[in-house]
Amino acid sequence: MKKRFSSYIDQLQDRISSALEEIDGAARFQIDNWERPGGGGGQSRILENGGVFEKGGVNVSKVYGQLPEPMKAYLKVEQGDFFACGISLVIHPNSPLVPTVHANFRYFELYDNNKEVVDQWFGGGIDLTPYYLFDEDVVHFHQQCKSVCDAHDPAFYQTFKDKCDRYFWNTHRNEARGVGGLFFDYCRASDERSIEQWFDFVTAAGDAFLDCYTPIVNKRKDLPFGPEQRNWQELRRGRYVEFNLIHDKGTLFGLKTQGRIESILMSLPPAVQWKYNVSPAPDSEEERLVRVLQKPINWIKQ
Residue 79 has pLDDT above 80, yes or no: no
Catalytic residues: 102
pLDDT at residue 124 above 90? yes
CB 34 within 8 A of CB 263: yes
Residue 143 has a pLDDT of 98
Residue type, 193: R
258 confidence band (pLDDT: 50, 70, 90):
low
Query: Would the pLDDT of 225 be above 80?
Result: yes
pTM across the whole model? 0.95
pLDDT the model gives residue 217 = 98
The pLDDT value given to residue 245: 94
Mean pLDDT of 103-114: 93
* pLDDT recorded at residue 70: 75
Count of positions (residues) in the chain:
302
Mean per-residue pLDDT for 175-193?
97
pLDDT, averaged across the chain:
94
Residues 106-132 have a mean pLDDT of 94
pLDDT at 77: 74
pLDDT at 257 over 70: no
Supply the pLDDT for residue 67: 80
> How much of the chain, in percent, has pLDDT values that exceed 70?
99
Span of 57-66, 166-175, 212-221, 249-258 with lowest mean pLDDT: 249-258
Q: Look at residue 75 and tell me whether its pLDDT is greater than 80.
A: no
| Banded model confidence at residue 302, pLDDT cuts 50, 70, 90 | low
Q: What is the pLDDT of residues 18-65, one digit of tens each?
A: 999 999 999 999 999 999 888 899 999 999 999 999 999 999 999 998
At 73, the pLDDT band (50, 70, 90 cuts) reads confident
Q: What is the pLDDT of residue 264?
A: 86
Mean pLDDT score, 190-196: 96
Which domains can be identified in the chain, with CATH numbers? 2-292 (3.40.1500.10)
Residue 113 banded pLDDT, cuts 50, 70, 90: confident
Residue 76 has pLDDT above 80, yes or no: no
**Per-residue b/e over 7-29, b at no fewer than 16 CB within 10 Å?**
ebbeebbeebbeebbebbeebeb
The pLDDT score that the predictor gives to residue 139 is 98
Report pLDDT for 138: 98
